[in-house]
Amino acid sequence: MPFGLKNASATYQRMVDNIFRNQKGRNVEAYVNDILIKSKSGEEHLSDLRETLNTCCTYNIKLNPL
């Protein structure tokens, strides 16, 4: 999506919010291209990470660790 368009960033954020709607506020915070996975324990974090990566796979989201 070209970011030169006036509403492109708001449209993109709505799309990210929609993709992670089942996780937002529970174990994911997503803003533009940053995704934060939050958990209370190590075991829970592995489960939350797996759920987030599965969501990314489902929607064909490519991740860059940098």
Report the pLDDT value the prediction gives residue 45, as an integer from 0 to 100.
Answer: 97
* CA distances (Å), origin 41, targets 35, 36, 44, 49: 18, 15, 5, 12
The tens place of each residue's pLDDT in the chain, 66 residues long, gives: 555 677 888 888 999 999 999 999 999 999 888 999 999 999 999 999 999 999 999 999 998 877
What is the DSSP pairing of strand 28-31 with strand 34-37? antiparallel
Nearest CA to 56 out of 26, 7, 28, 14 is that of: 28
The whole-chain average pLDDT of the chain stands at 90
pTM of the complete model: 0.81
